[in-house]
Copies of this chain bind each other. A is one copy, B any other.
Amino acid sequence: MKLGVCYYPEHWPEARWATDARLMREAGLDIVRIGEFAWAQMEPEEGRFDWGWLDRAVDTLAAEGLQIVMGTPTPTPPAWLVRQYPEVLPVDAQGRVRRFGSRRHVCPCSREYYRLTERIVTAQAERYGRRPEVIGWQIDNEFGCHDTARCYCDNCAAAFRLWLKERYGSLDALNEAWGAAFWSQWYTDWEQIGPPILAVTEQNASHVLDYYRFSSDAWVKYEAFQARLLRDHGDAAKFVSHNYMGNFPDLDYHKLGEPLDLVTWDSYPTGYAEVMAEQLRSPDDPGAFRAFYAHDVGDPYVTGFCHAITRGIKQAPFWVMEQQCGNVNWSTHNTGVGPGAVRLWTWHALASGADAVVYFRWRACRFAQEQMHSGLRKHDGSADLGYEEVTALQGERSLMDEIAAAPYEPEVAILNDYEDLWAVQLQPHHRDFSYQRAQFVLYRACQELGIGCD
């Protein structure tokens, strides 16, 4: 069992880095994840790379014995890139171009995005892939987050048609499979087929389902493209991972796992705790969910459900790549986190089959979107509750290792099929029915009976 932390050296004066690294070591941390949003710092203008700062950051962390997981910075194409190649911007389900100014502003089918990805990931793999301190890679960050799994631009429309040709072979087969006899939806030319948006009313579920499949496949393909670059240009022995989002429904997480050596997920138990509980718990749940509880440590069944989903991807130990360690900033109620919560979450992850828990984030940021998000250290650099609690875990590390060494062997497995999930989502037949809720009811029943469940 390893512990780690997410760190953004590019947010802090270089003079502070050594202090931070020392404090990490003193807390007993083994791992640091860096780099996944720093494209602008790595490639400040097109084709000109600046690796100096990152070399020094790696050196500084390594000097304290920390192992590094390095992220490829592709979730955040910089301003110069977007202005030069506006086609990389995605289009939403309302037909609007989604603009620069946050993250994940990319279309998974853009050739320019592929080309620019290839250049930076190749350069990054060549520079860091063989450094011993870098133990593995994280490709990109949280694919699909912020409703970005599906893009509806013209690039995607063209790619969708190619995907359909491959799947069906002929328009006759497609028309037959989609039931295009219904409402005169019969296609006589591939060019007549577009993304399933902005129709007058509900669209053909088979059309939409295929767009969901296609979109998921597009990200899997993009991920595999990066995985190959990292292995070809770095050291193929180092793990390639991606950080999932628990019960996120928009991507086929099984397929997304295929190009990866390691699956990880980002666990924020109090983030949207009441929303998750509402989505997953039955409307007539006899032991009704208490909001207080959700905002204390989150609903443990929901957290455990997400651990189980992640564990199921590779039927193998997983990591928590981002573990909440104080209040978040992006939920409806960003309540503080009480004493014991960080310890509890760490043990819960371990007991659920996690091999490592990486806290998010090292230090509260002084600016931008996550200014109100806590870290192990406070804005001013002093220790926050999370730091104290992680440090105190050192006395429990040998027990942790012992437990981690025992394989997780559940008695029950629940089928988790994303195509089924989407099909139910498209035609639920009852407003309150959802695939995940049905799964969760089974999962929770098993947990309450003490029966391990995969």
What residues of B have a CB within 8 angstroms of the CB of A206 in the complex? 367-368
Question: Given the complex of chains A and B, what is the CA–CA distance between A202 and B193 in angstroms?
Answer: 33
- A294, chain B: closest CB distance, angstroms: 14
Residue-wise interface mask of A (180-203) relative to B, using a CB-CB cutoff of 8 A (1 in contact, 0 not): 111111111101111011111111
Are B368 and A182 in contact, with the CB atoms below 8 A?
A: yes
What residues of B have a CB within 8 angstroms of the CB of A8 in the complex? 181-182
Residue A161 CB within 8 A of the other chain: no
Residue A73 CB within 8 A of the other chain: yes
What residues of B have a CB within 8 angstroms of the CB of A188 in the complex? 44-45, 78-80
Residue A115 CB within 8 A of the other chain: no
Are A83 and B191 in contact, with the CB atoms below 8 A?
A: yes
Are B40 and A205 in contact, with the CB atoms below 8 A?
A: no
Which residue, A40, A77, A148, A332, has most C-beta atoms of chain B within 10 A?
Answer: A40
Question: Given the complex of chains A and B, what is the CA–CA distance between A77 and B388 in angstroms?
Answer: 63
Are B96 and A203 in contact, with the CB atoms below 8 A?
A: no
Question: Given the complex of chains A and B, what is the CA–CA distance between A199 and B101 in angstroms?
Answer: 6
What residues of B have a CB within 8 angstroms of the CB of A78 in the complex? 184-186, 188
- A16, chain B: closest CB distance, angstroms: 14
Are B194 and A41 in contact, with the CB atoms below 8 A?
A: no
Known: A80-B192, A189-B83. A105 touches B182 (CB 8 A): no
Are B431 and A332 in contact, with the CB atoms below 8 A?
A: yes
Stretch at the interface among A57-65, A246-254, A369-377, A393-401: A369-377
Known: A83-B191, A102-B201, A430-B334. A184 touches B365 (CB 8 A): no
Residue of B nearest to A204 (CB): B368
Residue-wise interface mask of A (4-35) relative to B, using a CB-CB cutoff of 8 A (1 in contact, 0 not): 00001011000000000000000000000000
Known: A182-B11, A429-B329, A430-B333. A98 touches B198 (CB 8 A): yes
Known: A44-B186, A79-B188, A202-B330. A179 touches B102 (CB 8 A): no
Residue A2 CB within 8 A of the other chain: no
- A442, chain B: closest CB distance, angstroms: 23
Residue A281 CB within 8 A of the other chain: no
Question: Given the complex of chains A and B, what is the CA–CA distance between A340 and B93 in angstroms?
Answer: 43
What residues of B have a CB within 8 angstroms of the CB of A203 in the complex? 101-102, 369
Question: Given the complex of chains A and B, what is the CA–CA distance between A47 and B451 in angstroms?
Answer: 66
Are B37 and A102 in contact, with the CB atoms below 8 A?
A: no
Residue of B nearest to A199 (CB): B101
Known: A79-B192, A192-B79. A182 touches B99 (CB 8 A): no
Residue A363 CB within 8 A of the other chain: no
- A41, chain B: closest CB distance, angstroms: 7
- A198, chain B: closest CB distance, angstroms: 5
Residue of B nearest to A146 (CB): B201
Residue A444 CB within 8 A of the other chain: no
- Footprint of B on A, CB under 8 Å? 8, 10-11, 37-41, 44-45, 73, 76-80, 82-83, 90, 94-105, 145-148, 178-189, 191-194, 196-207, 329-330, 332-335, 365-372, 427, 429-431
- List 29 A–B pairs whose Cβ atoms lie within 8 Å, in order of A's numbering: A11-B179, A11-B181, A37-B182, A37-B183, A39-B184, A40-B185, A40-B186, A41-B186, A44-B186, A76-B185, A77-B184, A78-B186, A79-B184, A82-B192, A83-B189, A100-B194, A104-B200, A178-B367, A178-B368, A179-B371, A183-B369, A202-B330, A202-B369, A204-B369, A205-B371, A206-B368, A329-B429, A332-B431, A333-B431
Given contact pairs A80-B192, A102-B199, a sample of 20 additional A-B residue pairs in the complex whose CB atoms are under 8 Å apart: A11-B179, A37-B184, A40-B184, A77-B184, A80-B188, A99-B194, A101-B185, A101-B194, A101-B200, A102-B183, A103-B184, A103-B201, A104-B201, A105-B200, A145-B201, A178-B367, A178-B368, A179-B366, A182-B368, A182-B369
